[in-house]
Structure 1
Amino acid sequence: MQKNGPFALAFHTLIVLFVLAPLIVVCLVAFTPQNTLSLPWDGLSLRWFAAVFHHPDFVASFWNSARLALFSATISTMLAVPSALAITRYSFRGRDALNALFLSPLIIPHLVIGVAFLRLFSFIGATGSFGWLVAAHVMVIMPYALRLILAALNGMDLSAEMAARTLGAGEWTVFRRITFPMLLPGISGGWLLAFINSFDELTMSIFVTAPSTVTLPVRMYMYASESIDPMMAAVSTLMIALTGVTMIILDRLFGLDQLLVGKG
């Protein structure tokens, strides 16, 4: 076992480096002083990071994505909590069909969903509306929140709730004082996954965004199709850094193991 230890460690290290290699290359290219996509052999430069912050379209698109992801993740989580409680705690006709309906956006290609929403918004005259864009994102990202909350409910010990009811607590009191605190790691993890998927959504957003509501992934796609320079690498590096900082903060506050598993 001791002889296999260093070999196994080296093998796992190579796998991690292979997986992270594209991200490492992108981050290095972001610091190049050249005008083309190249590694910074001649020294490091922050010129492309400064260019990002001086590009008004990228700044506006970032705030559009952040606002959209915040509203979409919050609404989808608020809908996922009662839906998960109904599916898990109650037995009624059509429960499995309802669960399949809520999770169906996971298996439907986002290209199909985007075209369908484009036709719908054109028919009702809602093209360019931020509110309808939020509704479209809610439908797509709600399954991510629902799955984690369902997992948290399935792994929850019901003895505390039963004891509270035995002592005369009402349903709302049981939910507010016992069920919700026990579900909080699952709810937080579901909200986080919903936020990330909404912020990163590209395929569907291409069809339903308007010039005033262009999100950051759509803006990056539009820019990359017209120009080839390290600015895209700088934007990607900033997003990687923002994601890393967010994960560190959540790990310190809740613990990523509890968020992802959904257990308190």
Structure 2
Amino acid sequence: MTRNGPVALLFHALVVIFMLAPLAIVCLVAFTPENTLSLPTKGFSLRWFEAVFHHPDFVQSFWNSLWLAFLAATLAVALAVPASLAITRWEFPGRGFLNALFLSPLIIPHLVLGVAMLRLFAVIGATGSFGWLVAAHIVIVTPYVMRLLIAAISGFDRSVEQAAFSLGASEATVFRRVTLPMILPGVTGGWLIAFINSFDELTMSIFITSPSTVTLPVRMYMYATESIDPMMAAVSALIIGITAVAVLLLDRVYGLDRILVGQH
């Protein structure tokens, strides 16, 4: 039997349905006119979406998460680009250690990171600071950017750079006009993945947020412990929609296949 046989296709279809069914149910529940979590059997309503936008705590938490994810993803890319170039292109003492250090947050549970960050911020007196919250998120999203950038740089044809050098271009010019454009799909894909992971982070954030820096996932968790109305489904549907639009735009601009293989 070939890999593309009917049994394999059926298996893949069931896997896709299994993964997408919970998201579809959440989105359907978000349109219910009822006061409880139920599928909209009596028509569709936008009442819970309106309730979200009229809830000041959710609106403020959304902006907190948006700025937090934007800053964390942007600074993670700024840190990961030179680090990935150094690790990929040069041999130096501690190269393996540096690579492992940048990727280590992938294997450390976020619960452990949250407790460690809470203790660290308490010692240095930075509890409740938005800037230190950004720094904590940089730690957990940088490995995702590193993996895509290392793949992009590893598949990079350096003869183009050598041609630019032979024509008299400086290192800064070559990086800005040759290297960066050719690894841009990896940079953009890494930024988007970092943004999504930072925006959705709950486990670590719940330890280090303050009343003025509560993120949207933390706000959702706090609300869910007090109420079971469909507002959580509406918020989740909005997040799913925003994420889907971002991925579709990225695919239209660069193509997800090129980003995943790290080639331009």
Query: What's the TM-score once normalised by structure 1's chain length?
Result: 0.95
Which residue number in structure 2 is paired with residue 41 of structure 1? 41
- Structure 1 residue 254, shift from structure 2 partner: 1.8
* 1:185 alignment partner AA: P
Q: Map Cα deviations across residues 187-240 of structure 1 (whole Å, 9 max, x no partner).
A: 111111111111011100001110000000000011111111111111111111
Contact 2:75 2:138 in 1 (8 A): yes
Which residue number in structure 2 is paired with residue 112 of structure 1? 112
| Secondary structure in structure 1 of the residue aligned to 2:225 | helix
The answer to whether 1:97 aligns with 2:97 is yes
| Secondary structure in structure 1 of the residue aligned to 2:183 | helix
Partners of 1:174 and 1:249 lie apart in 2 by 28
Partners of 1:19 and 1:187 lie apart in 2 by 27
Which residue number in structure 1 is paired with residue 212 of structure 2? 212
Which residue number in structure 2 is paired with residue 226 of structure 1? 226
Which residue number in structure 2 is paired with residue 63 of structure 1? 63
Which residue number in structure 2 is paired with residue 147 of structure 1? 147
Partners of 2:183 and 2:6 lie apart in 1 by 41
- Structure 1 residue 8, shift from structure 2 partner: 5.0
| Runs (5+) with no aligned partner, structure 2 | none
**Alpha-carbon distance change, 93 to 10 in structure 1, aligned in 2, over 3 angstroms:** closer
- Structure 1 residue 6, shift from structure 2 partner: 5.6
CA RMSD between the two structures: 1.6
Partners of 1:243 and 1:60 lie apart in 2 by 19
Matches within 5 A, 1:239-254: 239-254=239-254
- Structure 1 residue 92, shift from structure 2 partner: 0.6
Matches within 5 A, 1:141-220: 141-220=141-220
Which residue number in structure 2 is paired with residue 123 of structure 1? 123
* 1:33 alignment partner AA: P
Contact 1:29 1:38 in 2 (8 A): yes
- Structure 1 residue 261, shift from structure 2 partner: 2.4
The answer to whether 1:135 aligns with 2:135 is yes
- Structure 1 residue 74, shift from structure 2 partner: 0.3
**Alpha-carbon distance change, 236 to 85 in structure 1, aligned in 2, over 3 angstroms:** same
Q: Map Cα deviations across residues 22-54 of structure 1 (whole Å, 9 max, x no partner).
A: 111111111111111111112211111111111
- Structure 1 residue 12, shift from structure 2 partner: 3.3
Partners of 1:80 and 1:18 lie apart in 2 by 35
Contact 2:62 2:216 in 1 (8 A): yes
Partners of 1:12 and 1:110 lie apart in 2 by 31
- Structure 1 residue 260, shift from structure 2 partner: 2.6
Q: Map Cα deviations across residues 71-130 of structure 1 (whole Å, 9 max, x no partner).
A: 010001000000011111111100000100010000011111111110111111111111
| Secondary structure in structure 2 of the residue aligned to 1:226 | coil
| Secondary structure in structure 1 of the residue aligned to 2:12 | helix
Contact 1:61 1:215 in 2 (8 A): yes
| Secondary structure in structure 2 of the residue aligned to 1:93 | coil
Contact 1:81 1:149 in 2 (8 A): yes
The sequence identity of aligned pairs, in percent, is 70
| Runs (5+) with no aligned partner, structure 1 | none
Q: Map Cα deviations across residues 131-162 of structure 1 (whole Å, 9 max, x no partner).
A: 11111111111111111000001111111112
**Alpha-carbon distance change, 21 to 100 in structure 1, aligned in 2, over 3 angstroms:** same
Partners of 2:19 and 2:143 lie apart in 1 by 27
Contact 1:189 1:262 in 2 (8 A): no
Query: What's the TM-score once normalised by structure 2's chain length?
Result: 0.95
Which residue number in structure 2 is paired with residue 54 of structure 1? 54
* 1:162 alignment partner AA: Q
Q: Report how many aligned residue pairs link the two structures.
A: 263
